[in-house]
Homo-oligomer: A and B are copies of this chain.
Amino acid sequence: MQRRTEESRTAVIASLLADPTRSVVLWTLSDGRALPAGELARLARVSPATMSEHLSKLVRASLIRVERSGRHRYYRIGAPAVVRVLEALATVAPIAPRSDRGITEDASRSAIRLARTCYDHLAGYAGVKITDALLEAGYMVETGSGYDVTAAGEQWFAALGIGVSDARRRANEKRRQFARACLDWSERRHHIAGELGERLCERLLELAWFERRHGTRALRVTALGRRSLKRHLGVTLL
């Protein structure tokens, strides 16, 4: 392989992501699934021949890996860094079309968009919806730099087993923000992060409203989680 400048090396990677068909493939696999070539062809609406070429390019660049099983070949994301690129690209909104505050209602296509961890807190459709509901109910209010919990909110969190004042104290000690507003790449909306976001996420996993999925940051909503979100916050997760 000949010497390349940093610039053209990133251009090569970018050109692999620049094709709509390949982009669909990567986004489809971005939640950690492994799918056979034929199914990917069907999803992207191209012939098996075309898909095969795309897949071989992606494999050659190590953006995806292939695993043979019988007469199928299963393709999966090659490295976590690949998903980070996708997310970074999604964050560069081609001028965010925020006409109104609607959430994308077809978020269900990919598990990683429905619910995932973002560092230590909850993100994706679920993270945004929960944050919205907390604001809507008056349990939290927006501040300049994030959120703050109201007296009513403190009770709500306590009912879930989360000590707000304790979290506030710890955040202060750690010189960490108490309840930060983190921008979501898939929803282009804010969700709750910081010390409180971490505790909320931890607790919802403890309560088994969500479950971790193997080898991915995507979370599964349990049946209990769906019911409880409905009851506690009036949130329906499609």
Rounded to whole angstroms, the CA-CA distance of A19 and B12 in the bound complex is 8
Please give the number of chain A residues whose Cβ is less than 8 angstroms from any Cβ of chain B in the complex.
43
Rounded to whole angstroms, the CA-CA distance of A42 and B187 in the bound complex is 40
Q: Which residue of B lies closest to A97 (CB)?
A: B1
Rounded to whole angstroms, the CA-CA distance of A81 and B1 in the bound complex is 31
A207 interface residue, CB < 8 Å from B? no
Known contacts A18-B18, A81-B88, A84-B88; A23 and B1 CB within 8 A of each other: no
A92 interface residue, CB < 8 Å from B? yes
Q: Which residue of B lies closest to A79 (CB)?
A: B92
Q: How many copies does the complex hold?
A: 2
**28 A–B contacts from the bound complex (CB under 8 Å):** A1-B97, A7-B20, A7-B27, A9-B94, A10-B23, A10-B90, A11-B22, A13-B92, A13-B94, A14-B14, A14-B15, A14-B17, A14-B23, A15-B18, A15-B19, A17-B18, A62-B95, A63-B92, A79-B92, A81-B88, A81-B91, A84-B88, A84-B91, A85-B89, A85-B92, A88-B89, A173-B174, A174-B175
Within 8 A of B (CB), among A1-57: 1, 5-15, 17-20, 22-24, 27
Rounded to whole angstroms, the CA-CA distance of A89 and B13 in the bound complex is 7
Residues of B close to A22: CB separation below 8 A? 11
Do A11 and B19 touch across chains, with their CB atoms under 8 A apart? yes
